[in-house]
Amino acid sequence: MTQPLVAIRSVSKTFGEFQALKQVSLDVSAGEVLCLIGASGSGKTTLLRCINQLTPVDSGGIWLDGELLGLREEGGRLHRLTERQIARQRLKTGMVFQRFNLFPHKTALENITEGPVQVQGRDRQEVRSEAMELLARVGLTAKADAYASQLSGGQQQRVAIARALAMKPMLMLFDEPTSALDPELVGEVLSVMKELARSGMTMLVVTHELGFAREVADRVVYMDHGAIVESGSSRDVLGAPREARTQAFLSAVI
Amino acid sequence: MSNAATLAGGFPDLSKLPVARQAHWMRWFTAAAIVAVLLTIGRAFANGQIEWSYVSRFLTAPVILQGIVNTMVMAVLAMALGIFLGIVVAIMRLSPNPVLKSVALGYTWLFRGTPLILQLLLWFNIALVFPTIGIPGLWSARAVDIMTPFLSALLGLGINQGAYTSEVMRAGMLSVDAGQYEAAKAIGMGRLRALRRIILPQAMRVVIPPLGNEFIGMVKATSLASVIQYPELLHSAENIYYANSRVIELLIVAGLWYLLVVSILTPLQMLLERRFARGFSQTAR
Amino acid sequence: MRRISISAGLAALAAITTAHAAELPDAIKQAGVLRLTVNSTYAPMEYRDPATNQLVGLDIDLANELAKRLNVKIVWSETPFAELIPSLQTKRADFIISGISDRSSRRETADFIDYLTTGPQFFVLTDNAAKAAIDLCGKKVGTTRSTSFPVEIEKWSKQNCEASGKPAIQYVPGENSIDVRNQLKQGRIDAAVQGSETLPYAQQQEVGKYRVVGEPFAVGYQGIMFRKDDAALREVVTEHLAAMIADGSYKSILDKYGLGTHAVAQPLMNAATQ
């Protein structure tokens, strides 16, 4: 069996008094689309943020493509990596935020080219033409020179997806990508994500959009109170959940 | 009661009655009082022991004009230094490194905690403590040769300004949405690069209006440099009245010029404020 | 030059005082108070004793003696040097006795009763190479910019340095005599100029630190300044000052401050030639 792309082993995270993650373990295979569902405070967003180290783990380990994230093992002890090393590790993941977080002082095109040019030092012309391709892919060629304030929420989120893809990550993380959108704009973002899934990108999506999960996810993981309660195919978890808590959650949201 | 027709229930129909203009007696009265006070003050100035011929004579004297140029040059340079230091210190203050943070706190405490005039005098007289400045073995020079009135004024005003500007910059940087920093990190940016390319440009938009205000204050603060012999406007006016004893006349000359400069800068600063506020009123749809 | 001005001063004085024995103006006599203001940064003329913070000095002592003889009290106030003349003009002070030089440029609205000879004096740090005033040509010389000394230095430099082909003295401004001595100590200036009456005190404060160079290079007077329209007060003060000179109390005050050599034989009016 091939090594999972992401291996999460006994990860715990506490914020003050509150335990957000309790010894969570999870595997994500390359090319898999995995949806994390659960109530707010269940730890699903925290888990996502631990993978690209926006939130450091308290204990346990996460391996991405075989590399331990944020830590170095030496002489039986764990040493934290430097900020620069962590930044380099982040290049392997792309993240799409709930509130888009586009850079307001840059155009859509500039948002996309910023990372490859500034961080990866790639040739500006090359990056530019790639960025135009990405904009085409998310259906926003006409908005290349628009600023965030001139775009609808759905358009901003699509640019944000293109921005993350420009870094050529091996894993895409989505933190409730449609939660902040007006209902009529959700569809355009979901269709971009579906296309992305079809193209074989490994995706970890925290979402409330159960329709999307049912349609696209290879696996659905339900979390509650910092632990994984149930995990399985979307048909199983969403259609015939085994755990009582999963059933309670689903009946509450549908 | 009146000509108004009565409607049902005994309430009169007021829709036909015109509304009388308000007389605003109090406003007229206060306006008249203020005008009277101003006229009295104006008359005192006109008839007081002021030789207005001296005011008009020296208003455009070459020494005064040169003083204005020196004032503006110093204001611009000291402000530039203050902004540069303010950015550096604000970044240090927000750094996770406790050493940098302490240095930033110490700098702000020291230079905001002592009067500006004291700082100017100390810079100018630094040779009393450090007679020579230099790198041992490489180069050294007499402190008095280096600390000219110009350099002492620049350092005194700029470093003091930096302490205040750092607080403005810090507020500006904190005003930028935390998500911006996260998005920058998510595409692999380190802290300094994220600050430089993402946070600071956005902070500048918030920061530039109050900095415009600080600059207007700086123009006037340069007058303190007169005590360390920097030949700005006040120093030049003083030299004239030391020679001809026309104290109030020359102070009026200097005052008029400061007023003129500030009167030009103030609407410019409001324009600046409006231009930068524009980008902010729009939110994501 | 000096003799002519003395006789002119005496003549002027004689013209006024022969008229009648002067009386204090009513306003002052009734209040029993003389309002005087000084620039108390000018030792030994007027300054705050560092030990006791009391206002002391030659001018203070002279004024107190005068007040005793006039049977009035003095209310002292302090102002910067540049404010002295405006204080007189606005009647904030009855007259000015504050180490102020008699100069023609100041006589537009005031008269001077000269009571002390003075003159700008070059001085250097003791270990300085300059031996005579001419050694200071081309050097940096500092003085208080609010005084008449910058002009005096320029005049002297033209007459003595440039006239003999030497480079001119470079004048460096200072805020007050302490600032000037500070710049001398730091080496910002090579020499300084102060009124000759202030140097004995400075040398006593910092023994062995300073050395005068040459003689005072211009002769002038310190004067008590009166408003031009205040002849009555001026005459009264002059009369009593003359009495103090006659009975030796004037000289003993001057000697107390080491300035016996700066005495005038009698009070002179507007005698300075500058």
pLDDT of A28-66, one tens digit each? 999 999 999 999 889 999 999 999 999 999 999 999 999
Question: What does the pLDDT average to over A142-161?
Answer: 95
- On chain B, the residues whose CB falls within 8 A of the CB of C86 are 245, 247-248
pLDDT tier at A209, thresholds 50, 70, 90? confident
Output the pLDDT for position B285: 32
Q: What is the pLDDT of residue B216?
A: 95
Distance CA C9, CA C272 (A): 9
DSSP state of C102: -
Q: Look up residue B114 and give its two tokens.
A: 């002592």
Task: Using CA coordinates, name the residue in chain C closest to B227.
Answer: C175
- What is the reported pLDDT for C201? 84
Contacts with C178 (C-beta within 8 Å, 6 or more apart), sequence order: C41
For range C136-154, the mean pLDDT = 93
Q: In this complex, is the C-beta atom of B131 within 8 Å of any C-beta atom belonging to chain C?
A: yes
Closest residue to B127, CB basis, from C89, C175, C186: C186
Stretch A107-128: mean pLDDT? 95
On whether any CB of chain C is under 8 Å from the CB of B143, the answer is: yes
Mutate to test the interface with B, among A107, A114, A143 (most CBs of B within 10 A): A114
Which residues have a Cβ under 8 Å from the Cβ of B212 and sit 6 or more positions away?
B265, B268, B269, B272, B273
The pLDDT-based confidence of A132 (bands split at 50, 70, 90) is very high
Question: Inter-chain contact A167–B188, Cβ cutoff 8 Å?
Answer: yes
**Please, are residues B55 and B253 in contact by the beta-carbon 8 Å criterion?**
yes
Given a cut of 80, whether residue C13 has pLDDT beyond it is: no
B64 contacts B54 by C-beta, under 8 angstroms: no
What is the rounded CA–CA span in Å between residue A143 and residue A147? 8
Nearest-angstrom CA–CA distance, A52 and A54? 6
Chain B neighbors of C186, CB-CB under 8 A? 125, 127-128, 131, 143-144
Residue C119 has pLDDT above 90, yes or no: no
Test A100 with B197 for CB contact under 8 angstroms.
no
**A92: helix, coil or strand?**
coil
Q: How far is CA C252 from CA A107, B92, C258, in A?
A: 88, 66, 10
The complex's ipTM?
Answer: 0.92
Q: Which of B49, B125, B241 sits opposite C82 (nearest CB)?
A: B241
Q: Has residue B205 got a pLDDT over 60?
A: yes
Q: Which residues share a beta bridge with A72?
A: A79
Residue in B with minimal Cα distance to C86: B247
CA atoms within 13 A on the CB side of A154: 15
State pTM to two decimals.
0.80
- Check the CA dihedral B254-B255-B257-B261 and report its sign: positive
Give the mean pLDDT of chain A: 93
Q: Which residues of B touch A100 (CB under 8 A)?
A: 284
**Residue pair A45/A176 in contact by the 8 Å Cβ criterion:** yes
Q: How much is the pLDDT for C6?
A: 65
Contact A148, A114 (CB under 8 A): no
At residue C134 the predicted structure's pLDDT band, cuts being 50, 70 and 90, is very high
Percent residues over pLDDT 70 in chain A? 100
Is B241 at the interface with chain C, CB within 8 A? yes
What is the reported pLDDT for B277?
Answer: 63
Q: How confident is the model at residue B282 (pLDDT cuts 50, 70, 90)?
A: very low
**B148–chain C Cβ distance below 8 A for any pair:** no
Give the closest-approach CA distance of B87 to chain A in angstroms: 19
pLDDT at C5 over 70: no
Strands A219-224 and A33-37 come out as: parallel
Measured in angstroms, the CA of A250 and the nearest CA of chain B are apart by 30
Tokens of B67: 């003083």
Least confident of A177-181, A225-229, B24-28, C101-105: C101-105
pLDDT for C172 beyond 90: yes
Residue C14's pLDDT is: 58
For residues B164 and A239, give the distance between their C-alpha atoms in angstroms, rounded to a whole number.
62
> Cα(first)–Cα(last) distance of chain C, in Å?
11
Residue B56 neighbours by CB distance under 10 Å: 11
pLDDT (0 to 100) of residue C16: 53
Residue type, C126: T
> How close does chain B come to A88, measured CA to CA in Å?
6
Does the distance separating the beta carbons of A153 and B182 come in below 8 Å? no
> Cβ separation of A118 and B190 shorter than 8 Å?
no
The half-sphere exposure of C164 on its side-chain side, counting CA atoms within 13 A, is 10
pLDDT above 90 (res C9): no
Long-range contacts of A243-250 (CB under 8 A, 24+ apart): A246/A222, A249/A37, A249/A38, A249/A39, A249/A222, A249/A224, A250/A210
Output the pLDDT for position B12. Answer: 84
Residues written for chain A: 254
| DSSP calls for A63-87 | EETTEESSEEEETTEEEEPPHHHHH
Average pLDDT score over residue span B109-118: 97
Residues of chain C with C-beta less than 8 angstroms from the C-beta of B142: 187
Query: Is the pLDDT assigned to residue C20 strictly greater than 50?
Result: no
How much is the average pLDDT of A70-93? 91
**What is the per-residue DSSP string for chain B?**
--SPPB-GGG-B--TTSPPPPP--HHHHHHHHHHHHHHHHHHHHHHHSS--HHHHHHHTT-HHHHHHHHHHHHHHHHHHHHHHHHHHHHHHHHT-S-HHHHHHHHHHHHHHHSS-HHHHHHHHHTGGGT-SEEEETTTEEEEHHHH--HHHHHHHHHHHHHHHHHHHHHHHHHHHS-HHHHHHHHHTT--HHHHIIIIIHHHHHHHHHHHHHHHHHHHHHHGGGGGGGT---HHHHHHHHHHHH--HHHHHHHHHHHHHHHHHHHHHHHHHHHHHHHHTTS----
Contacts of B248 in chain C (CB under 8 A): 86
